[in-house]
Amino acid sequence: MITEVAVALTAFNNLRQLTTALVSAKSEIDRQEAAISFQNALLDLQGRIFESQTAQATLQERIAALESELARHKNWSKERDRYSLQEVETGAFVYRLKPEAANGEAVHNLCPQCFEDEVKSILQFLGKHGMRNKHGCNRCNTVVMG
């Protein structure tokens, strides 16, 4: 960005010098040559201003995207704190809503794989498998027995 400003200032100084040359030109040919040089320098300056504006717009879009991502991570951090990792059976883990953080929601279990991907996906009861309950994730197809 600083480079673009420096180049624009240089182009602006060139315009100023060309304006002086245009005013002090003695013959019509000198004036026409100075006018053509002035127009070329003006077009160059306009192009550099456009490039600078485009770069600034790109940076503003990037800043907005990063701010949005930061807000999403902050929100997820708050949501993550509402759950705790629970072992439902030897080697079988889920993220369970803490009763004190339920805020009227039914206590439920979330898929551990999706939770690590910062996605809440409630494990659904799929039936019994012998004496054990079988729960599955509709998003990633993880199955938890417990």
Does the reported pTM lie above 0.85?
no
pLDDT at position 17 is 78
Domain boundary pick from 78, 112, 132: 78
**Pairing outcome for strands 92-97 and 132-136:** unpaired
Higher pLDDT, 69 or 15: 69
For the segment 7-33, the average pLDDT, to the nearest whole number, is 75
Predicted confidence band of residue 146 (pLDDT cuts 50, 70, 90)? confident
Residues 14 and 68 in one domain: yes
Does position 42 have pLDDT exceeding 90, yes or no? no
DSSP classification of residue 27: S
Residues 62 and 15 in one domain: yes
Q: Which domain holds residue 140?
A: 83-145
Residues 68 and 10 in one domain: yes
Cα 124 from Cα 47, distance rounded (Å): 59
Residues 52 and 95 in one domain: no
Domain boundary pick from 39, 63, 78: 78
Residues 91 and 73 in one domain: no
Mean pLDDT of the chain: 89
Are the C-beta atoms of residues 34 and 25 closer than 8 Å to each other?
yes
Residues 72 and 118 in one domain: no
Which amino acid does the sequence have at 121?
S
Residues 70 and 9 in one domain: yes
Please write the tens of the pLDDT for every residue from 96-126. Answer: 999 999 999 999 999 999 999 999 999 999 9
Please write the tens of the pLDDT for every residue from 52-72. Answer: 899 999 999 999 999 999 999
Residues 51 and 18 in one domain: yes
Number of folded domains in the chain?
2
Residues 65 and 100 in one domain: no
